Chain A
Amino acid sequence: MTLSKEDQHNDYELMAALAGGDHDALSVLYDKYAGVMLALCRRILRDATEAEQLLLDVFTEIWQRADRYDERRATPLTYLLTLCRSRAIDRCRSRRSKHGKWAVNDFTTDNTMESVMAPGQQPAEAVSSGEQGHLVRQAMKTLTDIQRKVLELAYFDGLSQSEIAEVTGIPLGTVKSHVRMALIQLRQKLRKED
């Protein structure tokens, strides 16, 4: 996936067309981003069938509530991914509350990027090959293992600051500062490449 400036402009136009009820706009947006959004759903839900079901629901919601998108607050891609994450985490939490509390083991092992890849896939090759994917990969490399871990537990596993502290044994204040530093660093790395 490449995201040039023109691409991003196109995305704004697609979102506007979507709000105007343009079926083709949704189809284009789907072809562009369904892959990364499904990857996100699978990483959070860890269930391929449930992930596809959620992807379908998220795109239906994007279509039905296109009026919610506010271009002053986020780029289209940020909006799509943020909505997708939030719906996936909601679904995961309701599942968790049905099946009881998470166990520490759920997160201390096997929750890294590799565990959601197909067998034989190597992280470096499997990651999205486009320009933006490359930038993000480079930026992620500059984080410490702990920063990356804390960020993943928050973003992909939906743990709150206190849950992260409990699972990792890191003090609450340090969890906060890891999250802050990691996001600042990601932001700076990605901004430098603008």
Chain B
Amino acid sequence: MQCDEVQELIYLEAAGAEDAAARSVIRDHLAKGCVICQAALAEATAAAAQLPLNLPPCPPSESVKKELMRRIKTATPLSQSERTSATPEPKRMPRKLLLWPLVISTSLAAAMFLVAILSLQANENLSREHLKDLTALASLQKSFLRDTARLSQLSHQMHDAVAMEKRKILSLETKLAAAESLKAMIGSPALEMASLHGSSPMRTAWGRVMWNDKMKMWKLCVFNMPHLPNSKTYEVWMITSGGKKMPAGLFNTDYKTQSALVTPAVPPNKHEMAEIAVTIEPAGGSPQPTGAILLAGHIG
């Protein structure tokens, strides 16, 4: 399945409305290692996770925290018990590549420390030399700890920067794909065009519709149409020669430019269509137009 089809489903999954089929499509796709869809899912999930922040917070009763702290005294984290048992190296470390240098240097410091202690035990005479070495080692260890903290901070900053770049790339890729499909559509000899004219109360509105029957693509550009409040939407209609009106998509214009580039739904029976028109409808759209036709053009 293609990335854009998967991304349709990703939003459902992020909101928690996916069904089993959608879930398995997403799992299969991500298992192939698609970083774009992985990033899209992470972003959509993060957006959905903002929803609880809109709820009034409720402070839990004190007994909950008391019980929690009592529980964790007796329960060791799984990660912790795994770590102290067989494997000498922390399980989480290998994927944090950035932390490798400091893992090595800290182990080195620890080893040096151990050697110093061992030699101390062997030599019962605690000479001034040893004491000096120990002090030096202790200060060395201190500075390693400082570096560790600093490196860990840097790693987080780097992590954030990478995530931000990934988001930018994703958004640029989406834009590029849209631009490329538009270029292919316009560059093809099969392109047809028609103008749309505004009528009262939007006389200055105008538009242009382009379609490419071969590619089954439609684009509608509209201008001089005010940005609508959230309670309303523009709705596109395809009208047959018999006057039957079919809904073909919703849009709003840009607040600043008062324009929009819209991809109307492709009518299955294009040859029957005589006109394309735009009305204002309540948010969410209507099955049949309830508002006056503000913009229209002949496509038959």
Q: What is the interface of chain A, defined by CB distance below 8 A to chain B?
A: 1, 5, 8-9, 12-13, 16, 18-21, 23, 26-27, 30-31, 34-40, 42-43, 52, 55-56, 59-60, 63-67, 71-75, 77-78, 81-82, 84-86, 89, 113, 116-117, 121, 123, 126-128, 132-133, 136-137, 139-146, 151-156, 158-162, 164, 170, 174-176, 178-180, 182-184, 186-187, 190-191
Interface residues on B, range: 35 or more
Q: How far is the CB of B15 from chain A (nearest CB, A)?
A: 4
Contact A34 B64 (CB under 8 A): yes
User: Interface SS of chain B: helix, strand, loop or mixed?
Assistant: helix
Q: Report Cα–Cα, A127/B51, bound state, in Å.
A: 11
Given the interface contacts A26-B72, A27-B69, A65-B78, does A113 sit within 8 Å of B55 by beta carbon? yes
B201 lies within 8 A of chain A by Cβ: no
B111 lies within 8 A of chain A by Cβ: no
Given the interface contacts A52-B64, A56-B64, does A82 sit within 8 Å of B49 by beta carbon? yes
Residues of B near A78 (CB, < 8 A) are: 45-46, 49
Contact B50 A64 (CB under 8 A): no
Contact A38 B283 (CB under 8 A): no
Q: What is the interface of chain B, defined by CB distance below 8 A to chain A?
A: 8, 11-12, 14-19, 22, 42-61, 64-65, 67-69, 71-73, 75-80, 82, 91-92, 95, 152-153, 156-157, 159-160, 167, 230-231, 233, 283-284
Partner of A9, one of B58, B60, B153: B153
Contact B71 A162 (CB under 8 A): no
Q: Report Cα–Cα, A72/B186, bound state, in Å.
A: 40
Closest to A170 in B: B284
Contact A36 B18 (CB under 8 A): no
14 further interface pairs, Cβ-Cβ under 8 Å (given A38-B60, A128-B53, A186-B48): A5-B160, A26-B69, A34-B64, A38-B58, A52-B60, A56-B67, A56-B68, A81-B52, A128-B56, A136-B51, A136-B53, A144-B283, A161-B22, A180-B12
Contact A55 B64 (CB under 8 A): yes
- By Cβ-Cβ distance, the 7 closest A-B pairs, closest first, are A67-B79, A126-B56, A35-B57, A154-B17, A144-B283, A187-B47, A40-B52
Residues of A near B14 (CB, < 8 A) are: 183
Closest to A122 in B: B56
Given the interface contacts A82-B49, A156-B51, does A23 sit within 8 Å of B69 by beta carbon? yes
Contact B75 A136 (CB under 8 A): no
Q: Report Cα–Cα, A63/B71, bound state, in Å.
A: 10
Residues of B near A63 (CB, < 8 A) are: 71-72, 75, 77
Contact B17 A175 (CB under 8 A): yes
Contact B17 A159 (CB under 8 A): yes
Contact B19 A155 (CB under 8 A): no
Residues of B near A12 (CB, < 8 A) are: 156
Q: Report Cα–Cα, A26/B52, bound state, in Å.
A: 21
Contact B52 A66 (CB under 8 A): no
Residues of B near A77 (CB, < 8 A) are: 49
Most chain A Cβ neighbours within 10 Å, of B55, B61, B76: B55
Residues of A near B48 (CB, < 8 A) are: 82, 151, 155, 183, 186
Given the interface contacts A74-B45, A176-B12, A180-B11, does A64 sit within 8 Å of B75 by beta carbon? yes
Partner of B17, one of A1, A123, A164: A164
Q: How far is the CB of A52 from chain B (nearest CB, A)?
A: 5
A-B contact pairs, 9 of them (CB 8 A): A36-B57, A38-B57, A56-B68, A56-B71, A60-B68, A81-B49, A155-B15, A158-B16, A161-B19
Q: Report Cα–Cα, A154/B80, bound state, in Å.
A: 36
Closest to A126 in B: B56
Partner of B12, one of A81, A156, A179: A179
Partner of A34, one of B42, B51, B65: B65
Q: Report Cα–Cα, A12/B58, bound state, in Å.
A: 24
Q: How far is the CB of B60 from chain A (nearest CB, A)?
A: 5
Given the interface contacts A74-B45, A89-B16, A183-B15, does A142 sit within 8 Å of B230 by beta carbon? yes
Q: How far is the CB of B61 from chain A (nearest CB, A)?
A: 7
Given the interface contacts A27-B69, A73-B42, A187-B47, does A34 sit within 8 Å of B92 by beta carbon? no
Q: How far is the CB of B39 from chain A (nearest CB, A)?
A: 10
Given the interface contacts A35-B60, A161-B18, does A136 sit within 8 Å of B50 by beta carbon? yes
Contact A155 B51 (CB under 8 A): yes
Q: Report Cα–Cα, A156/B15, bound state, in Å.
A: 9
Contact B58 A183 (CB under 8 A): no
Closest to A180 in B: B11
Contact B55 A116 (CB under 8 A): yes
Contact B230 A144 (CB under 8 A): yes
Q: How far is the CB of B127 from chain A (nearest CB, A)?
A: 37
